[in-house]
Structure 1
């Protein structure tokens, strides 16, 4: 259609793009383009395919903040609505400062999306029916790994928002890694999380709705005193452990709650256990190898901006949980 409005959906998750396209008012004449990272999205905007841009923040190649900055610096014509799982107040402030006209939380509410689009002031004819030359909207295919990564991304963002408020810092968020791992592969993943430092690790089991697993939160010992400094806390052996347990409750609890809400289940979370303190990853593996075997692993690293502090959260779902998770995810995708 000649009068179709070019709209770009820029998000690395095929599930997020599919959900957004589905939620666009079906009668509106839109020429939809998809981009799976910030660089491709910027190219599409430069070529005139992004009069309206629905933009994610956490993406490979070029994140959403950088895309907004380049749109501004290059004087590109694009009305940007950020739709993100990173719901920290600082993320919202930065996005709007860089030129975003609206900020919506993932998963997006269709009515809020329509209201944000109407607020742009563009002409969206209220067509009674789909005209003959209205091109069908192409929906991306979504596999389980990508879909579950998007769920983890949203849950991760909620945990970061809470942690950021507690510590009064901005949390830099990664793209979660989602993989089915054998115990040997899990050992390699944990070794990567450790690096060359000694670590302390807190484990919390969870179960509900036919799904079970363990959340493993890994702290580099050298960083705990820095966190205590942010909280103006004095450190001794007792307070060190209390701080670990408090941080685990915040990060793990918020992330699991975010997953539970999206999956429509209720997860009961066990008491946090100190798996190891001032020890190496090999020792953690040796102590827990019989329990972990093959697992669905979700790896998330939280980094505190302007501080050399990082927490590694690894959610380990039992092998028996995977079919149930797949059925749940299929209903969402």
Structure 2
């Protein structure tokens, strides 16, 4: 007498990072009877769900085209009810509250442990009866350094945003980070584009550790500095705007770097934050510090604060010599 058949569920993994999707698929329980579909943004995810390919959805939040919040809102508006677990680097308390209010069953913080995901699936009653056949592995894709490092940065900026949210009492809208390798001339053009001819104040802080070195450059438009200081001034009325800005920069840059360091198992020593080209144009900032930036691995992050007309740009600039060491540290994620 043959064994009873096990019903198969459709699973959708939605994340703009190929690295993150690969990590999720590797963490799925063996012999879980699911058919797997992958989506790299919310629009693809919605198309798949409408076609019945997402009874269970593992959903990222910060994505281009259509983010995870918009997916959850669209599911609610269209009366679709897949079982959604959010897996995100945006670990702000408000982010967790919002996705649960929008109908997600649970929130899992990146980076997660595979046992953590499996326990959660079991607790939510999603595993059901196991199949006799192991879950087929995902097609092997070549993952390069830039994709892996982008996901590492994505986790770091989420950790930093959670800290900013607590310090300022705001909700931080997270960007999709941009990671590029620039020659010195290209970096100058990128910085000039970021400045958009507006007057800026930039704060620079160097870092070094385990053969990896660079500088963090945090840029504020002058018109927004007073508003930033006002958000921080609730307990620091004796400090000037610039002193408050230096304190804020130290917190933000420190949080980003400590998360990156934790993920690649190094320790960074950080210099004191310094005001670079105060109240200058971006061209003047480049002239002041241009000698330091040759061929550079550049991470560009633009934060904005919900409910406030405040945006600030963080550049993490790694020296050319750091790339080989970073590649070695992240090699396990490229396999």
TM-score, normalised to structure 2, is: 0.94
Following the alignment from structure 2 to structure 1, what is the Cα–Cα distance between the partners of residues 9 and 274? Answer: 55
Deviates more, 1:231-240 or 1:208-217: 231-240
The residue number in structure 2 matching 1:66 is 70
| Per-residue deviation, 1:196 | 2.8
Deviates more, 1:116-125 or 1:223-232: 116-125
Partner SS state of residue 316, structure 1: strand
Following the alignment from structure 1 to structure 2, what is the Cα–Cα distance between the partners of residues 312 and 250? Answer: 14
The residue number in structure 2 matching 1:102 is 106
The residue number in structure 1 matching 2:255 is 254
| Per-residue deviation, 1:332 | 2.7
Following the alignment from structure 2 to structure 1, what is the Cα–Cα distance between the partners of residues 43 and 14? Answer: 10
| Per-residue deviation, 1:27 | 2.0
Partner SS state of residue 230, structure 1: helix
1:316 and 2:320 matched: no
Unaligned 5+ segments in structure 1 are none
The residue number in structure 2 matching 1:169 is 170
The residue number in structure 1 matching 2:229 is 228
Following the alignment from structure 2 to structure 1, what is the Cα–Cα distance between the partners of residues 320 and 253? Answer: 20
| Per-residue deviation, 1:233 | 5.7
Coordinate RMSD, CA, aligned? 1.9
Following the alignment from structure 1 to structure 2, what is the Cα–Cα distance between the partners of residues 114 and 136? Answer: 16
The residue number in structure 2 matching 1:144 is 145
Following the alignment from structure 2 to structure 1, what is the Cα–Cα distance between the partners of residues 13 and 21? Answer: 6
TM-score, normalised to structure 1, is: 0.94
Following the alignment from structure 1 to structure 2, what is the Cα–Cα distance between the partners of residues 97 and 171? Answer: 18
1:45 and 2:39 matched: no
1:207 and 2:208 matched: yes
Aligned residues: 330
Unaligned 5+ segments in structure 2 are none
| Per-residue deviation, 1:223 | 0.4
Following the alignment from structure 1 to structure 2, what is the Cα–Cα distance between the partners of residues 284 and 36? Answer: 37
User: 5 Å matches for 1:181-330?
Assistant: 181-232=182-233, 239-330=240-331
Deviates more, 1:323-332 or 1:135-144: 135-144
1:176 touches 1:298 (CA, 8 Å); kept in 2? yes
| Per-residue deviation, 1:209 | 1.2
1:296 touches 1:317 (CA, 8 Å); kept in 2? yes
The residue number in structure 2 matching 1:19 is 23
2:197 touches 2:282 (CA, 8 Å); kept in 1? no
Identify which of 113, 119, 123 aligns with 1:115.
Answer: 119
Following the alignment from structure 1 to structure 2, what is the Cα–Cα distance between the partners of residues 167 and 85? Answer: 19
1:228 touches 1:235 (CA, 8 Å); kept in 2? no
